[in-house]
A = this chain, B = another copy of it.
Amino acid sequence: MTTKCFQEQYPEATRHCYGCGPLNPHGHGLQSFWEGDETVARFDPEPYHTSMPGYVYGGLIASLIDCHGTGSAAAFAHRAEGREMGTEPALRYVTGSLRVDYLKPTPLGGTLVLRGQRKSIRGRVVVVEISLYAEGVECARGEVAAVRIPERWLESLEAPRER
């Protein structure tokens, strides 16, 4: 099995996300991987990613849950078809809805760990539950309802763009 992160296996035209796109040099570059039946991503916030001094900005937490959620959705969907990411056809997801419960202030300074679990797959919608941990403590919990990108849109993105 490959040790590439999910995001490096996205179709090339969909690797530009600020949160997790390997082709976006400005962004967070979040990387998601399998760990057994769970998906995991780790992220080190910058010192300036503050909400209150000493705590992680909630928007970053939402962003990480969002990106890890759509990546996990793609991974779960491929496995549901009995194959892994990187095989054709590529299944790629966008967020339909995102919910984040902030359980407690997230301390800034260490590595954040996001763990994703498959909640459901129904038609084109994959629901992923994600817990975010800091210093081993669950600080936020999220749910991402991810919707498979229509093949036609995916193909149009892959065509050269003249913008």
Residue A137 interfacial (CB < 8 Å)? no
- Number of copies of this chain in the oligomer? 2
- For the complex, what is the distance from the CA of A96 to the CA of B99, rounded to whole Å? 11
Residue A26 interfacial (CB < 8 Å)? yes
What's the minimum C-beta distance from A106 to chain B, rounded to whole angstroms? 11
- For the complex, what is the distance from the CA of A126 to the CA of B49, rounded to whole Å? 25
Count how many chain A residues have C-beta atoms less than 8 Å from C-beta atoms of the other chain. 41
Residues of B within 8 A of A64 (CB): 59
The digit string for A20-33, where 1 denotes a CB below 8 A from any CB of B, is 01001111000000
What's the minimum C-beta distance from A63 to chain B, rounded to whole angstroms? 3
What's the minimum C-beta distance from A112 to chain B, rounded to whole angstroms? 14
